[in-house]
Structure 1
């Protein structure tokens, strides 16, 4: 700043290039704070904004699942007023002490003495920085008024910057600790954290409340914090970069550095800027020192970026236009992301013919393997040592083991692997959209066994199953159901037959022995040998009868088990084929995906907003 600055009028100094914060100010009416939780009354929308307001409202209804409601309401409020409030957030990474100092530098008047609000921001202790601070235009008398919300502390600031641009500045904190542990943060999460800061009530008992803003300055202290923010915002798009500026507090260069005002980041030094401001306030003779220090601090670049879009307009403020364009971009990006995910899902899903052919192949392979298993496992089971323990001549001391051995054969050898494979096949069919088979006709279900009281014999083994039908069951449960029926309906009669044959054998043998003794005692003509022949005849007859009946019953039981296994496999295979045929007849009925229709309507609403916004930029925003 030149030496003759002392002779320049006060208004000229305010407009000099070295002016701190925002320059070229005119006087406007004070802003009116709009709480994010206020009830939305029917606004009196200016005619020039009516078309854009209607298009944006339609976008909120058509793309409800894709639009951020808080940002949409902020844009609608901006269109409903002639000179709407513009919100800017200054967020400190993990701490807002430096963010408060930065906000103070951007709003302080170097030609005036240090005011109370500056001391409150600059001297906040660690315990006083937890709550957010909203800087709003006002004088000392407004400081006595209570804060309208428990979400933040309202600090009135008599700054021409806030007054002339109808501006409010939110000072809060951005927590990026989670980003260090998880580098891949979703785009929506990063964007909303920057442009829709979450404020916590002082009671800390409720959920965080969104506070949407038009622009955001993120203050990073040092390279480590800047790197952490880079991981946090790695997926933010270029459109969002125009609304977000990263200020990195770095050591000031020896000379003024030339920075690009449109760059996404800007190096600043708060200490150098504070020293420059303090030196100018001490004496106007330090104007040159102030000018050099101020430009070395990098704050002019940040000030000019924040002022972009805040100048008054005959139609819509450029800041509101940028907000609406950002909302449209975010909605379109969300729709495109969902469309891409759906296309990838459709590509990975085989066609109906491929699925049906694959299921049929698996079914045929399952049926072949299951029949081979039934044959091999039962051959091995009936030739094993355990089954031979039930031979007729061992039945006298093994009669109580009939139930245990026969049940063990059915539980461990009868279609065990086939049952597991059928469950796996049922899972594949369910994933492919086939039914579980409960709607199949009764003929496809496992028949229920009869409940006769007659025991199985060689002529009537009592192991045939009747045609009585149970209720509908899943086809994958046919094998387990048939096994249970075999155990309940064929094993007890086999056990009863074994016990009855033992009793009959002992009875016949006892009677023949008694007759032999009576003949020997009553008739002297019968010798011991002749009398014993009668007993031997009775014993031989009873054992022969026992052998014939028991071995016949065992063979009949083996045949029943094998035949029931084949019938069960056949019923199961027929049930699956019937399900496949029914599915094939329904393949022609294809309904349009409701999500596709919703996304198409949302895209049309986005396009309508863009068209009206383009007409607004060209000066024809009021026409419909």
Structure 2
């Protein structure tokens, strides 16, 4: 016994004992633990797995096998809806009955405040100040996280580029198989952009990212079971509120926020179930220092300790850490949180998909809309055909091809008629059909409709005498092996007007040009022959006067011109009528084709994308809940 304890009066000792009992400090071991060396060797070899290690299927207790398999099924069927790091932590938690529990203490500002709070939570007031406490108090801000493990201060730890490992001889860590990660959480919403827009604030709190200052690459996730956030003043509380604006609920009690505020005038114990808790680290440090100086300062320690708000955080720290079965309550809470998160993500995607499907018009609405646009297009196209051809056939260019100008304009027939077809025949209708085709393509209607024609093959014909059937080949007919189902592919309907124009250019203009040239030649020939006959009559027959011979020549000339006028004008009118009729037929055929496409196109099925995968994920979540309930 230390000599200074013997000098303390008995009343002080009793008061100190009652004070310690009232405080219910978590540093009192609830059960006998192994020796430090044996315990550390066993725990580090069997339960602790580094976050970057490759997972090897461990020896799972029989009572936890079903739950482990259910979690494994969740990773297979719901990988896109779950945080894999948290799921792996939950799987490691069911491999042993007394698994290691990870708790993170994250500072909203300087990591030094998180280190000081960790020191208050783990320090033993009845013991002397340890070297690990000095390390936490004097550690420089280098950006590296710190991992606090149970062990003797002289134990050697494997160096890690991600965090600094510190062995702490704390009974809390040893009794509860606890590890504490001390780091920072950047919630400066005005300057710092989140690493990933898809990461929720809950994932950022329960899966903090750690990285050494000199390391390259992405930060490494370090999932934890619980997180204690420490902030400085009301400003950090506001920043934290903005950061967690997307979180609904209290994070299943796994996250607690402590805000450094001036100590209250009276003792305040918000309890370990409150989400927020005021704390004053300076008051707690002073109370701890005074009590270590002399046990006579127990009353000062009691008042300062409760005013600092540390007792409530200490109770929350060790809550749900005692093993009450194969799985610790903290791990059960983690698994339940994962299951709820998966269901929430699935429900969110279902809602988005249903909203998208509700915004898509039905097949009937789409068909009616296409047919309305088709009717508008057909009306405008027929009007265009009439007006544009009327304008073309009253234009000066068409007047150049009247019968009496044909003698010197015969070579311009091809140029003028081609110009009419290229510039006046359904030009705007063809352009507007492209817009209509775009609407139909967007609605899922094809541009080409395949019409299947089945050819029925007759039975072999028999002779009248009842002899053997006649071979169809002998009659030049097709045999059954030669006849099959024929597929007739219609030209894409937006190209039908261009195809019709091309046919008119090839089939009507060359014959028209040839007929004009032939007509001019016949007219000139008839006129020449009549003139030659008139001269011959005048020379050979003296009874014919000049006027009589000239009458013969004039008769031939008038006949040839009249014939040319009659034939050419009738041909021109026929060509005009053919252009109008072909345009009308083309528009009608195009309209009927579009209606046939709309009528024969199969009704599209509105499938809920990913519905099968989400159903499997829900089933996996249900298996996890059922297995967790039976453990």
Cα displacement (A) at 1:72: 1.6
C-alpha contact (below 8 Å) 1:403/1:491 kept by paired residues:
yes
Structure 2 distance, partners of 1:204, 1:531, is 119
2:349 to 338, 362, 374: 338
Cα displacement (A) at 1:177: 4.4
Cα displacement (A) at 1:12: 5.9
Structure 1 equivalent of residue 261 of structure 2: 250
Q: Counterparts of 1:368-517 in structure 2 under 5 Å?
A: 368-384=379-395, 413-437=424-448, 439=450, 474-483=492-501
Q: Counterparts of 1:61-140 in structure 2 under 5 Å?
A: 61-93=76-108, 96-126=111-141, 128-129=142-143, 131-140=144-153
CA change 1:65–1:543 in 2 (3 A) is farther
| Number of equivalences | 579
SS in 2 for 1:65: helix
CA change 1:573–1:288 in 2 (3 A) is same
Structure 1 distance, partners of 2:570, 2:27, is 108
Structure 2 equivalent of residue 41 of structure 1: 56
Q: Counterparts of 1:539-550 in structure 2 under 5 Å?
A: none
C-alpha contact (below 8 Å) 1:89/1:216 kept by paired residues:
yes
Deviations 1:204-233 (A, max 9, x none): 433333322111122333333322322232
Cα displacement (A) at 1:15: 5.1
C-alpha contact (below 8 Å) 2:109/2:231 kept by paired residues:
no
1:273 to 268, 271, 284: 284
C-alpha contact (below 8 Å) 1:134/1:171 kept by paired residues:
yes
C-alpha contact (below 8 Å) 1:216/1:245 kept by paired residues:
yes
Structure 2 distance, partners of 1:134, 1:597, is 42
1:210 to 208, 221, 230: 221
Cα displacement (A) at 1:239: 5.9
CA change 1:7–1:425 in 2 (3 A) is same
CA change 1:112–1:385 in 2 (3 A) is farther
Structure 2 distance, partners of 1:204, 1:386, is 82
Which structure 2 segments of 5+ residues have no match?
A: 1-7, 454-486
Structure 2 equivalent of residue 317 of structure 1: 328
Structure 2 equivalent of residue 231 of structure 1: 242
C-alpha contact (below 8 Å) 1:478/1:572 kept by paired residues:
yes
Structure 2 distance, partners of 1:326, 1:397, is 95
Structure 2 distance, partners of 1:384, 1:4, is 128
CA change 1:125–1:201 in 2 (3 A) is closer
2:175 to 156, 164, 175: 164
Larger gyration radius, structure 1 or structure 2: 2
Deviations 1:355-385 (A, max 9, x none): 4444334433433333233323433444456
Structure 2 equivalent of residue 456 of structure 1: none
Structure 2 equivalent of residue 572 of structure 1: 590
SS in 2 for 1:267: strand
The reply on whether 1:199 has 2:210 as its aligned counterpart is yes
Structure 2 distance, partners of 1:537, 1:181, is 104
Structure 2 equivalent of residue 152 of structure 1: 163
SS in 1 for 2:166: strand
SS in 1 for 2:105: strand
Structure 2 equivalent of residue 458 of structure 1: none
C-alpha contact (below 8 Å) 1:15/1:23 kept by paired residues:
no
SS in 1 for 2:79: coil
Structure 2 distance, partners of 1:432, 1:202, is 54
Higher mean alpha-carbon deviation, 317-326 vs 45-54, is at 45-54
CA change 1:61–1:551 in 2 (3 A) is same
Structure 1 distance, partners of 2:425, 2:109, is 67
C-alpha contact (below 8 Å) 1:21/1:108 kept by paired residues:
no
